[in-house]
Chains A and B, each alone.
Chain A
Amino acid sequence: MNTQRILALLKMELYKIIREPAYLFLMLLFPAALTITFGFAFGDPELGMSFNFMVPGLFAYACIFIIMTVAQSFADFREQGLLRRLNATPMSSTDFIMANILSNMILSMIQVTIVYVLALLLGFSSNSDSLGILFAFLLMALFSLSSVGLGLITASISKSGGTATALSFIFILPQMFFGTFIPVTNTTRVIAGFLPSYYATDALTSIFNGDNLLSANILIDVAFIAIFSIAIVILGILFFKKYGNK
């Protein structure tokens, strides 16, 4: 692993997000549009569902979409012969994947900031102090690791960028329906228990409710997110090194 190489690749990844309209829309404008839509649609308490209840799910939802962009980006790079070209340099796969993890962590921070600021403007109120908010942001960075891992797995089994986009929904949809802003029932909670987004949303809900950051509920959620994220990203790296880097 080499810092100069990782930083050079990180810069390239960040340029991609800024300069490619599709990525810019999906990563930054989409979470913003979603927050505004939900803010206006559920801002009225008479509807029965409060916007406050949905904001933690929106945080997680924004980060889930990293699966699609990572999968598409890696598959595109492979299709365009860029991975082969990079592999012919002294760069290691670890340098490349590390740069991707860092760029997506930065991205998740930006996404969460957009969602948070817009939610506040639309009437979201949190009982958490600034330390709690900072903790929520860091938790999302950790959660984004699992999305990078799932993106790598998707890219490894996809032959093209288009296929990767479609296949990424295998991981996006369950996390969206059973682990974000859609309320879980006793039945769906069983499925949700296997999804990191459920724990991320649950932890954020507790944080925004003003619970103690060291409470058992939050710590258990954090432990699950950490275990899921690290296991998935390791699995993603192994998958990608074996099948996806050709």
Chain B
Amino acid sequence: MSETKIKPYEKPENIINPNSEFSIEVQNLRKVFRGKKGYDDVIAVDDVSFKVKSGELFGFLGPNGAGKTTTINILIGLLKPTSGIAIVNGYDIYDSISHIKELIGVCPQEPSVFKFLTGIENIELFGKLHLMKKVEIKDRTNKLLEILDFSKASRRKTKGYSGGMLRQLNMIISLIHDPKIAFLDEPTVGMDPRARRATWEFIGSLKTKSKTIFLTTHYIEEAEALCDRVAIIDYGKIIEIGTPQDLIKKYEVDNLEGVFMKITGRRIMEGV
């Protein structure tokens, strides 16, 4: 009698939990930068835990150097954590970072675009890196350029762009492939008020398309106006987490700045 072979269970492409209601799950995450000879170690992220629901606009709020960008860099695979767990869309950052990179869009804090290319050429390049078809890239590019009122400038080489224009292009590039999860690291710094408002409206509109957005900012009004929930981080530790309204109510203050001040005795903008 021949033996029946039982096929071993295979996890679908390394996914940990395909039915998870959370897009991002972080548990006891820690990042220590080892100090060079004679210098102390720097604890950039200190035992951070939080969860971001799918379709949520989550704000990561804190002064400069609080650990916001380090956390993002770990979640997008640019930095390895010292310890802790981080799962993005059900994938573990340790062994499935290539799957994660296909699902995410990253808008870095410093605008990084190729100066010898035009705005459109930059957008096309990143669309192709995400294996989009030519027609898809064209349609999506036109849509994004129109929304952000950027069509005219996009035909020029980026060398002559202002800081605000570079930031707008920076964000369009990060969203060209219609990512499931967008990491926006201080997307509106250096923008003029008009461009900032247009960007806010645009980020707000992403919420209606069930995108998960992880937004770091030190602009209190930005976080209050846009975010479903915020985590306040200081010296690498999360000091409070909740909806802006709940936090304001809990600490009996006027805004999130007041929340931060009540907990730390400092203003968020002091570190900026």
Contact = CB atoms under 8 A, between A and B. Distances in A.
Interface stretch (B1-9, B82-90, B106-114, B255-263): B106-114
Chain B interface size band reads 20 to 34
A17 B130 CA distance: 24
A15 B112 contact: no
A214 interface: no
B108 A84 contact: yes
A88 B106 contact: yes
A85 B131 contact: no
Given A15-B121, A81-B108, A84-B78, A89 B116 contact: no
Contacts of B126: 89
A86 interface: yes
A7 B125 CA distance: 10
Nearest to A17: B116
Interface in B95-150: 98, 101-102, 104, 106, 108, 110, 112-117, 121, 124-126, 128-131
B164 interface: no
Interface residues of A, number: 23
Nearest to B101: A90
B76 interface: yes
A90 B129 CA distance: 7
Contacts of A88: 76-78, 101, 104, 106, 108
A85 B112 contact: yes
Contact of A5 (B108, B116, B128): B128
Nearest to A5: B129
A186 interface: no
B111 to A, nearest CB: 8
Given A4-B131, A8-B125, A90-B101, A15 B116 contact: yes
Interface of A: 2, 4-5, 7-9, 11-12, 15-16, 19-20, 80-82, 84-91
25 contacts: A5-B128, A5-B129, A8-B125, A8-B129, A12-B114, A12-B117, A15-B114, A15-B116, A15-B117, A80-B115, A82-B113, A82-B114, A84-B108, A85-B108, A85-B112, A86-B129, A87-B77, A88-B77, A88-B101, A88-B104, A89-B101, A89-B130, A90-B98, A90-B101, A90-B131
